[in-house]
Amino acid sequence: MDLSPVAAARPTLRGGAVDTAGGRVVTQVGAPVQGEVLAGRYRLEEALYADAASGHALWRGTDNLLNRTVSIELRVPGGEAAEQMIAEAVAAGRIVHPSVIGVYDAVDEGPRAYVVREWVHGQTLFDTLAAGPLHPARAAALVRNTADALAGIHATGHAHGNLTPSTVLIGNDDEVTLVDLHLGGPGQQPSDIRALGGLLYAGLTGQWPDVLPPHRTGLPDATRVDGRMCSPRQIRAGIPGYLDALTMDLLDPAVPPPTAADLASELRRYDVADPALSALAVLAPEPDTGGPRWTRIGVLVVGVLVVIGVIVGVAALGLPNFGGGDEGSGPSTKPSTSAPAQATGGPVKIVRATLLDPPDGDFAEAKDLENAIDGKTSTSWKTDQYKSAKLGNFKPGMGIVLDLGGNKNVSSVTIGFDHAGATFELRAGTEQPSSQPTDITPYKVIAPSQSSSSGSTTVKLSKPVSTPFLVVWLTDTGTNDRGKYQVAISEITVKS
């Protein structure tokens, strides 16, 4: 199902006209018309939404230059009436994150104004909950992905400012895209974290905690008993105690909220999809010691895991089995062997990937970049579709900066291309990339320009290179099996 960033959150009405109170249909000056081309580039294909009172409309469109589907938000008239829309779009355009909807263009023509954004495939969390509450593991994973996206926004000094079940789009493999950003200042970031608690509550129960704004989301209000809001476990059986405590602490204004990055990290550590952690998470909470309940449960989990680690360590050392049994009745007669030295050629973990787009680029291709390092060959990152070779001659190249988490020895890099003939080289350097790097010069060539093979292409270095950052520098997409100037990368792996 294709959903646009605003229509996903609002009812669909007629597009391209204003329905007056008297029942007459009057075309506004500057009102959009199907097939019209804006700025000589963006063709209006289908009206998705129109608001008679505000002159606001949303269209599915086509970017004729890059041959891609886009969403186009229009406001008639432009000028002062569209100032907030344009300002928010410009600010949002500076935020580049795979889980934040991309802003491609913002234009105020006076009689009308419009913002061109990435077209998103998926459905909102609100629509997803129409089928009922989510499995706890899925609810936690979606909020973890949302927290990751928020961390990227917060790092720019902004807040989302409008986080609700209708502004979180869920795509393939449950990847999350955040839409309809209101971009508040740093002072609103704690409210974003509270809203994450609301999303977690909604995912677990199908209800909205009405202690949070907006008080009307379309979801039923949280169940109350004797005036107190019920926790998720009081509404629905089978929810781990850790998630229940975390949810309620996030909603409690008396509990200092964690940062978005810390929350994502906690949810990643205590993934309820892990059966071992799930079993530990449902242990009864300890007596109140003053801190957030979920952190106390987290300490309990770590403590149990330490005990498990000690037991495993004792077994590994070959100490006697004090529990009895034939195998532990006497000293071992089996010869011991020392552990082998760590072999070279092992995998090097890639911590994150960042798109490096030269000054002529727009970072639109940062979308889904994490698919190139997620360990799944079934997912992929792809470039835009260009009109000609060499990236349409728009820019000298485009890079994927791979953060190795510190200096690591690198002997080979394997890249999964979808077709042969793409041109690339490998570079390395020590410069920490910004959120939107544009300069390739700090990264020096370690493997010269070469063409990809169909499937996996492995580049073996003449001698290992120690570096914290690698760059796959792409200079030509070649043509894919449909004859288009576009390339996809399913996975990048690095070996020492």
DSSP 374-430: SS-TT--EEPPPBSSTGGGGSSS-EEEEEEEEEEEEEEEEEEEESSS--EEEEEEE-
Q: In the predicted model, what is the mean pLDDT of residues 456-465? A: 92
Which helix or strand (DSSP H or E) is residue 194 part of?
Answer: helix 189-205
For residue 223, name the pLDDT band (cuts at 50, 70, 90). Answer: very high
Residue 461 has pLDDT above 60, yes or no: yes
Both tokens of residue 28? 């506004």
Residue 50 has pLDDT above 90, yes or no: no
Residues of the chain with CATH 2.60.120.260: 347-495
Q: Is 329 exposed, middle or buried (0-12, 13-18, 19+ CB in 10 A)?
A: exposed
Residues of the chain with CATH 3.30.200.20: 2-121
pLDDT number for residue 309: 45
Amino acid at 200: L
pLDDT number for residue 361: 72
Burial 137-151 (b: 16+ CB within 10 A, else e): ebbbbbbbbbbbbbb
Q: Which CATH class is domain 123-215+231-281?
A: mainly alpha
Residues of the chain with CATH 1.10.510.10: 123-215+231-281
Backbone dihedral region of 342: left (phi > 0), alpha (psi from -120 to 50 degrees) or beta?
Answer: beta
C-alpha to C-alpha distance for 69 and 119, rounded to whole angstroms: 6
Q: Determine the topology of domain 2-121 in CATH.
A: Phosphorylase Kinase; domain 1 (3.30.200)
For residue 436, name the pLDDT band (cuts at 50, 70, 90). Answer: confident
pLDDT number for residue 175: 85
For residue 435, name the pLDDT band (cuts at 50, 70, 90). Answer: confident
CATH code of the domain occupying 347-495: 2.60.120.260
For residue 481, name the pLDDT band (cuts at 50, 70, 90). Answer: confident
CA-wise closest residue to 400 among 448, 431, 365: 365
CA-wise closest residue to 312 among 300, 336, 337, 304: 304
